[in-house]
A and B are shown apart, each in its own frame.
Chain A
Amino acid sequence: MQPARGQHNVRCNELIATFAFKHGRFGNSSAWLRINDRRVFYVYDSYHVAPEDWAKVLKDSTDEAISSSFFVALWLNQNGGDLVRRTDSGVCVVHNVIHVIVLL
């Protein structure tokens, strides 16, 4: 590809973006469970990480992988719901997160 003069950096950035966001075999699997068109990840023992730390990562709309994923947190103890709510409405609104497994 021959970029026009002055276009070089733009072109490079486009190419980097193209390759960086190209999904592999897993990412392209049409059988990956989706909720709201986002790939689902259950996160076991998620309460070991502070809600603020989760919020910082999970609200990052510049990360295409994160913003196209749906995370299910683990609600294990009585106060787990408080933790989930703090994540949702505390430091920031986390739009693509976080909900709850009730362990049987």
Chain B
Amino acid sequence: MSGGAWPLRTYPTLFVLAFVAAFAPFACLGTEPSHDGSPRVHAFYYLWYGNPEVDGKYLHWDHEVLPHWAPATRAKFAHGHRHDVANGEIHSPFYPARGLYSSSDPQLLDSHMQELSQAGVGAIVLSWWGQASRDGTSDTQGVQTDHTIAHAIAAVERAGNMQWAVHMEPYPGRTAESVREDVNYLLHR
């Protein structure tokens, strides 16, 4: 290995990752005083929820039921219909403690960041689907993470004891050169 360029040796435990669903209540937490998050624990945070109060409509909570990837399983279950939010049926295995929130709501973001910090998370990795100017960077619900990420970054900054990073998602047509453009875009934004 040349140049010592193998940071796993330098940071043997850095990549202990916590995958935390944005909506999962930390019911298992005790009431002990919290401490600052560890930089070794990174949580992946998605920015795609919306509600009528903030966004004018539900986003993702009423996502259609997706087909299973395995044909045999797919054939057994209906799919394609939207979740019936009005009857408490949402596109999530859990019902969020804070209700059907918006990922663009600063107060909601602050309370998530507080919980994440209390859980020992040191870095929030923000799902980002590319520059809004590119085709195909909105998801099927019309969510444009290039816009919502600014709210999340501000919330991490307000929390004061965590850091953030970008989770670069594979938008259509992504190449190494387009990632170069994206990195420049984000640094200069």
Contacts and interface: CB of A to CB of B under 8 A. Distances in A.
Interface residues of A, number: 45
A93 interface: yes
A42 B163 CA distance: 14
Contacts of A104: 17, 19
Contacts, number: 117
Interface residues of B, number: 41
A34 B11 CA distance: 13
B167 to A, nearest CB: 5
Contacts of A45: 169-170
A42 B168 contact: yes
A25 B189 contact: yes
Contacts of B19: 104
Nearest to A69: B183
B36 interface: no
Given A25-B189, A93-B3, A53 B15 contact: no
Given A89-B2, A95-B5, 7 more contacts: A23-B188, A33-B42, A44-B168, A49-B179, A65-B188, A68-B187, A93-B2
Instruction: In the A-B complex, list the 5 residue pairs whose CB atoms are closest, starting with the nearest.
Output: A27-B187, A33-B163, A40-B165, A53-B176, A57-B176
